Amino acid sequence: VVFGVSPQQSKRVLKAMTKERLLAAKSSGPKICIDLSMTDRMTKKELSRLAAQIRRLYGSNKKAKKPFWICLTGFTTDSPLYEECLRMNDGFSNYLMDTTEEDYLDLFPLESLVYLTPDSEHALEDIDLDKVYIIGGLVDESIQKKLTYQKAQENSIQTARLPIQEYMVKNANAKNYHSEILAINQVFDILSTYVETQNWPEALKTGVSLGKGYVIPNTLE
Residue 63's domain is classified under what CATH number?
A: 3.40.1280.30
DSSP 119: T
Rounded Cα–Cα distance for residues 153 and 96 (Å): 31
Please report whether residue 122 resides in a domain: yes
Distance CA 209, CA 221 (A): 23
User: In this structure, is residue 191 part of a structural domain?
Assistant: no
Task: Round to whole Å and give the CA distance between 104 and 34.
Answer: 9
Whole-number Å distance between alpha carbons of 186 and 194: 12
Average pLDDT, the chain: 88
Residue 176 counted as domain residue? no
Residues 122-174 pLDDT 10s: 999 999 999 999 999 988 655 555 778 888 999 999 999 999 889 888 887 77
pLDDT at 144: 58
pTM here is 0.88
Nearest CA-CA partner of 168 in 208, 123, 116? 208
Residue 160, helix vs strand vs coil = strand
Q: Are 77 and 102 in contact (CB under 8 A)?
A: no
Q: Which domain holds residue 123?
A: 7-162
C-beta of residue 135 within 8 angstroms of C-beta of residue 33: yes
Domain count for the chain: 1
Q: How many helices (H) and strands (E) does the chain have?
A: 8, 8
216 lies in some domain: no
94-124 pLDDT tens trace:
999 999 999 999 999 999 999 998 889 999 9
Indicate whether 28 belongs to any domain. yes
